[in-house]
């Protein structure tokens, strides 16, 4: 099951209380205060990993609390620090404050770590308050409570190539033909209900990740069909393949479909609409007399754009498409995480393997 949104509560552990105690030993007159400090509460960390690809683990477990610190004891014994809690999340997860909608972090690379909830500070014991004029203080400090936050997690898939187009234009068939991905394929709209990733290998040295996005319809940016729930997954792709159905029995106008998808992408995000895009005439084996294909060819010729004609069923045109995709990807630099991706005033660091 693919889960790409979750709400969680994170809470740092409270600090331990300081202790009021006095040293009482034989042959030690006026031993004085000996109350130890409370321990620090554990903190909650978020850490990105490549070993997860959904937020399914947060569907039933939504509260994450670190251990509290131990209380101080006599003989100047300090309380034990609470153990930190590390929550692993998939690479590509964006973290928001649920109440305000403030963006905290964007985990765009593996092994990134950030403090989601700081543990509370331990209180001081009475030994800390001894002075020359107050040699037997009975004062102590309670531990500070840990931070508590309600967070919203949103996963955006990391893929090199994203497939977009109307439902039933052959996106799932294409990714199943080019990779080991096995999405559901059937002859009815919205067969694909969740994104599907596949690794496409041209040879042992060259490969890229392709994402099959559920079909779009007019009004998708406003939530029609599967709407914005999955449009967000094309935001991180470097290249879009726009599949246009040219099958004779489809009853669709290829040029109208092309314009509709472009408007939906632009309405959702101008950044997505500006991404490099290759046009692909799909289902060539069912083109019949080719009226729809001819109209699309003429349009591409007038626009000065190449058109790649394929049939995922017969394999026609797939090799040429793969070569074109790889050549285009080599021209597009991979995005590198920048400082502002972490959000204003928030710190994100590379996790240390031996860190608790």
Give 224's pLDDT tier (boundaries 50, 70, 90). low
Class of domain 161-331: alpha beta
Lowest mean pLDDT among 47-56, 133-142, 144-153: 47-56
Quote the percentage of the chain above a pLDDT of 90.
49
- Asked if residue 322 has pLDDT above 50, the reply is yes
Confidence of residue 29 (pLDDT cuts 50, 70, 90): confident
Show Cβ contacts of residue 79 under 8 Å, excluding neighbours closer than 6 positions.
16, 17, 36, 37, 38, 39, 69, 70, 71, 72, 73, 122
Q: Under CATH, what is the fold of the domain 5-155?
A: Spo0b-associated Gtp-binding Protein; Chain: A, (2.70.210)
The pLDDT, as a whole number, for residue 340 is 41
The half-sphere exposure of 315 on its side-chain side, counting CA atoms within 13 A, is: 3
At 339 the pLDDT is 39
Q: What confidence score (pLDDT) does residue 186 get? A: 55
CA distances (Å), origin 38, targets 45, 152, 199: 22, 32, 52
Beta bridge partners of 153: 6, 95
Cβ neighbours of residue 336 closer than 8 Å, sequence gap 6 or more: none
pLDDT at residue 341, as a whole number: 47
- Mean pLDDT, residues 107-126: 94
Residue 27: band (very low, low, confident or very high) from pLDDT cuts 50, 70, 90: confident
* Averaged pLDDT of the chain: 85
Q: Does residue 158 carry a pLDDT above 70?
A: yes
The average pLDDT across 108-116 equals 92
Domains 5-155 and 161-331 share a fold: no
Q: Per-residue pLDDT for 193 more than 80?
A: no
Sign of the alpha-carbon torsion through 218, 279, 286, 291: positive
d(CA 23, CA 29): 9
Closest listed residue to residue 293, CA positions, set 324, 252, 254, 258? 254
Q: With a cut of 50, say whether residue 265 has pLDDT above it.
A: yes
pLDDT-derived band at 2 (thresholds 50, 70, 90) equals low
- Identify which has the larger pLDDT, 205 or 89: 89
Report the pLDDT value the prediction gives residue 344, as an integer from 0 to 100.
43
Backbone angles phi, psi at 354, to 5 degrees: -95, 10
Higher pLDDT, 69 or 226: 69
pLDDT at 16: 96
For the chain, what percent of residues have pLDDT higher than 70? 86
Extents of the domains making up the chain: 5-155, 161-331
């Amino acid at each position: 099951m693919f889960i790409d949104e979750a709400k969680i509560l994170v809470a740092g552990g409270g600090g331990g209380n300081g202790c009021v105690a006095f040293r009482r030993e034989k042959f030690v007159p006026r031993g004085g205060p000996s109350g130890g400090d409370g321990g620090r509460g554990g903190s909650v960390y978020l850490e990105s990993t490549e070993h997860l690809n959904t937020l399914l683990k947060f569907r039933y477990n939504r509260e994450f609390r670190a251990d509290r610190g131990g209380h101080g004891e006599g003989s100047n014994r300090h309380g034990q620090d609470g153990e930190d809690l590390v929550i692993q999340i998939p690479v590509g997860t964006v973290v928001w404050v649920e109440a305000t909608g403030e963006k905290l972090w964007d985990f765009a690379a593996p092994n990134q770590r950030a403090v989601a909830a700081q543990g509370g500070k331990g209180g001081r014991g009475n030994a800390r308050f001894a002075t020359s004029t107050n040699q037997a203080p009975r004062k102590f400090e309670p531990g500070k409570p840990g931070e508590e936050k309600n967070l919203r997690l949103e996963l955006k898939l990391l893929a090199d190539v994203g497939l977009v187009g109307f439902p039933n234009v052959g996106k799932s068939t294409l990714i199943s033909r080019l990779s080991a991905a096995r999405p559901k394929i059937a002859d009815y709209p919205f067969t694909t209900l969740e994104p599907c990733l596949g690794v496409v290998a041209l040879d042992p040295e060259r490969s890229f990740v392709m994402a099959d996005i559920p079909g779009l319809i007019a009004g998708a940016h406003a939530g029609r069909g599967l709407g914005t729930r999955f449009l967000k997954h094309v935001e991180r792709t470097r290249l879009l393949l726009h599949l246009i159905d040219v099958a004779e029995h489809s009853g669709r106008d290829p040029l109208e479909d092309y314009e509709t998808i472009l408007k939906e992408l632009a309405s959702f995000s101008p950044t997505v609409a500006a991404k490099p895009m290759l046009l692909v005439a799909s289902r060539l084996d069912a083109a019949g007399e080719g009226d729809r294909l001819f109209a699309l060819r003429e349009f591409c010729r007038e626009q000065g754009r190449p058109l790649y004609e394929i049939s995922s069923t017969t394999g026609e045109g797939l090799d040429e498409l793969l070569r074109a995709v790889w050549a285009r990807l080599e021209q597009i630099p991979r995005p590198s995480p920048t400082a502002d991706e972490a959000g204003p005033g928030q710190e994100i660091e590379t996790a240390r393997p031996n860190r608790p």
